[in-house]
Chains A and B, each alone.
Chain A
Amino acid sequence: MATENPVALRGDASSQENAAPIVPLVDIIEDTSGITLIADMPGVSKDRLDIKVQADRLFIEGEARVDVPAELKVFHTEVDRPRYRRTFTLSPELDSAAIDANLKDGVLTLRIPRSQAAQPRRIEVQVG
């Protein structure tokens, strides 16, 4: 019988709840129009992903689930907690209302644009 179990199968459920979440590894790239943040969150599907902005803080959270048989006995565990969480501070020139999120194959990609006022502008030099 197949069922959806949390990834962490060692120990009881309550200790999983209390365990500190995994800090997902990220790449952060800044270019002239904004920031791209890429986070590894394997096992997280769209409906178990939570992205929040509160004041100048960006929170990403997710719960990993893997489809395994209910009667599985686990004896080697490298991913022992089912949750990911990481917090970032957004600098004021970023437009947190315009964040674009994409989740594919367990990789979350966030695009955080600079606010219009903070975009670098090119001034045309008129030749008189």
Chain B
Amino acid sequence: MAVPHYTPDVFRTFDWLWSQMDEALRAVGAPASLRASRGFPALNVGATDDAIELVAFAPGVDPATLEVSVDRGLLTIAGERRSALAELPEGAAVHAGERPSGKFRRAVELPRDADADRIEAKYADGTLRVTVRRKESAKPRVIAVQ
């Protein structure tokens, strides 16, 4: 496996909107537990020459409630995770309740060469992989010299 490079130039094209996400959670009245762990779902982001790749670690989410959208260069992953502690049988006792639940939303600003029309999302084993293709015009080209 190739050791990935840390590329500061690419990193600068991303702007992580933590505060915006936190505000969005507050607006929908998400439970305090989720607000506290505001990194749900956790995100890893990388890039190839052809695409930007995001992996969101969102276990136990009904894929039908997962929403991936792009608006003016801002990619948003939203959904809802049901609490396992919401409907308990009578006499049940909760010994640990660590798993976050409720509505979630995370937003990532895409680099300028991202193609909003060519985005694929796939949910498997509790991870959501989003692939955003780069625009053809942004790829390096060889210009013939006259």
Contacts and interface: CB of A to CB of B under 8 A. Distances in A.
Interface in A52-88: 64, 66-79
Contact of A72 (B47, B58, B61, B95): B47
Given A26-B96, A71-B49, A42 B84 contact: no
Contacts of B1: 5, 13, 70
B95 A29 contact: yes
A43 interface: yes
B39 interface: yes
A75 B60 contact: no
Contact of B60 (A35, A40, A66, A71): A40
A44 B84 CA distance: 20
A74 B4 contact: yes
B74 interface: no
Chain B, interface residues (CB within 8 Å), range: 35 or more
19 contacts: A9-B4, A10-B4, A12-B3, A25-B99, A27-B94, A28-B95, A29-B85, A42-B57, A43-B125, A43-B126, A43-B127, A44-B126, A66-B127, A73-B46, A73-B48, A75-B47, A76-B11, A79-B57, A106-B126
Interface of A: 5, 7, 9-13, 25-32, 35-36, 38, 40-45, 64, 66-79, 104-107
Interface of B: 1-7, 10-11, 14, 16, 39, 41-49, 51, 53, 55, 57-61, 63, 84-85, 88-89, 91-100, 123-127, 129
